[in-house]
Amino acid sequence: VINAGKSQHNEDQACCEVVFVERRPSPGARLPSREAALNSLSHLLPHGLTSPSFLSLQGRKGFYFHYWALFDGHAGSGAAVMASKKLHLHICEQLRDLVDILQDPSPPPICLPHDMRACPTEQSQVPLTEDDGEVPNNAVPRFHLEKAVSHESLVIGAIENAFKLMDDQIERERASQRLPGGCCALAAIYLMGKFYVANAGDSRAIIIRNGEIIPMSREFTPETERQRLQFLAFLRPELLGKEFTHLEFPRRIQPKELGKKMLYRDQNMNGWAYKKIQEDDLKFPLIYGEGKKARVMATIGVTRGLGDHDLKVFSSNIHIKPFLSCFPEVRVYDLTQYEHCPDDVLVLGTDGLWDVTNDKEVAGVVMEVLTSYEPNDPCRYTMVAQELVVRSRGVLKERGWRLANDKLGSGDDISVFVIPL
């Protein structure tokens, strides 16, 4: 991590842990409170541990996951610091219900008995997925089909809900814990032979395998999520106050242009068309600007992440949060499906990296640095990460920080994980 001086405190935060997911005690026993579980560090293990997926730790049944995450804060570091300390514990909590199910190779049960922990063995005695003779008194036609749900999709659901609960916790504690601002979140979870890469924001993850680049995330910005935001604003115009229009225009319209025809896009369109400018079109567009300068309601340049519960449009009472999503997109990479060599890596980086160094350049640095170390040197991956950060920052010259190509270096915080596959 480098703080390039944009803010006094580093707004990028990171976390790297091995987490033990302990099966919940049986239903009869008294459960520890959720708060206590979240604040306990007892299920964290020292780094570098190579563990079998399932084991009994001092008699406790469960499994491990490995976890790396980057949090790129904005308008303060509070949300990023909180998320870096807690997100993996929320993921752990969500997975605790699934310990027995994920260990069982048969398909996950669709329905679990009343007030019972997810446990396929106990559950399999109850034929819940079949009709048991009763014909319910129900006029709606019944479909005798059942959707197959994979173990993988349960892990994805657990991660998605963990992001939501993390966001809820930031909302609850933002006043008492002084957590201003928000953060993008990018997390990689290695569990049972698969990487789950969850992204909410404009950080990015790529895998470099045998020199090939495999994208493991996409960025969520006003441009990439334009249609979702316009659709919401179209259905809930009250969220725009009286200041904004859900239509997109290629530039601001001046009042004297009323009655002329101007290019526009609405939420259903990918192309552009002309419309006659009306009074309502003089409002500021919900989405405005291009590339890195695109903003939601002239305020924020990312559309997913954690926090931002108090964020409002400048000098107004219009809240931004309804347009932001705390849910990540989760992509899965099955390590068992491919052969990997010591030079194959997963790279996580905040936008401070990607703004000045593209995927191909990153792959080039990875290859260049790794080949200069012995394949079994444990430092080699750290050296790649360091080199990526340093190169993206550049060198201080008379005319500011400059990259090798003399372009301006990244003035943003820059954080990188390089994870051997």
Min dist. Cβ of residue 276 to a copy of itself (A): 9
- Show contacts with a copy of itself in window 141-160 (CB under 8 A): 141-143, 145-149, 152-160
Tokens of 395: 């060198």
Helices assigned H by DSSP within 237-336: none
* 310 sits near a copy of itself (criterion: CB under 8 A): no
Contact between 325 and a copy of itself per CB under 8 A: yes
The helix or strand, by DSSP H or E, that contains position 285, with its residue range, turns out to be strand 284-285
Phi/psi of residue 339, nearest 5 degrees: -90, 140
Should residue 36 be labelled a site residue for a copy of itself when binding is judged by CB under 8 A? no
| Dist CA 100 CA 96 (whole Å) | 9
User: Which single residue is written with the structure tokens 């993850």?
Assistant: 205
H/E element, 330: strand 329-334
Among 35, 134, 238, 398, binds a copy of itself (CB under 8 A): 134
| CB-count exposure of residue 311 (10 Å: 0-12, 13-18, 19+) | buried
Judged by CB under 8 A, the residue of 47, 176, 259, 398 near a copy of itself is 259
Give the C-alpha separation, 341 to 270, whole Å.
Answer: 42
Task: Return the residues of window 359-398 that contact a copy of itself according to CB under 8 A.
Answer: none
Residue 161 within binding range of a copy of itself, rule CB under 8 A: yes
- In single-letter form, the type of residue at position 401 comes to W
Give just the sign of the alpha carbon dihedral 292, 201, 243, 78: negative
CB closer to a copy of itself out of 59 and 271: 271
| Minimum distance from residue 251 beta carbon to a copy of itself (Å) | 4
Selected from 327, 367, 373, 386, the binder of a copy of itself by CB under 8 A is 327
- Return the residues of window 104-123 that contact a copy of itself according to CB under 8 A: 108, 110-116, 118
Instruction: Return the residues of window 262-301 that contact a copy of itself according to CB under 8 A.
Output: 262-263, 265, 268-274, 284, 288-290, 293, 298
The nearest distance, CB 74 to a copy of itself, in angstroms, is 19
Residues 84-103 that bind a copy of itself (CB under 8 A): 94, 97
The reply to whether 232 sits near a copy of itself by the rule CB under 8 A is yes
Number of amino acids touching a copy of itself (CB under 8 A): 73
Query: What span, in angstroms and rounded, lies between the C-alpha atoms of 222 and 296?
Result: 6
- At residue 310, the 3 state secondary structure works out as coil
Strand partners, 204: 349
We find the least distance from the C-beta atom of residue 226 to a copy of itself, in angstroms, to be 12
- Of the candidate spans 42-50, 207-215, 231-239, 339-347, the one that interacts with a copy of itself by CB under 8 A turns out to be 231-239
- Please report, to the nearest 10 degrees, the dihedral formed by the alpha carbons of residues 88, 410, 299, 10 taken in order: 50
Query: Does the protein bind a copy of itself through residue 252 (CB under 8 A)?
Result: yes
Among 53, 254, 278, 382, which residue interacts with a copy of itself (rule: CB under 8 A)?
Answer: 254
Per CB under 8 A, 194 contacts a copy of itself: no
- Contact at 8 Å (CB) between 149 and 110? yes
CA distance 183 to 306: 5
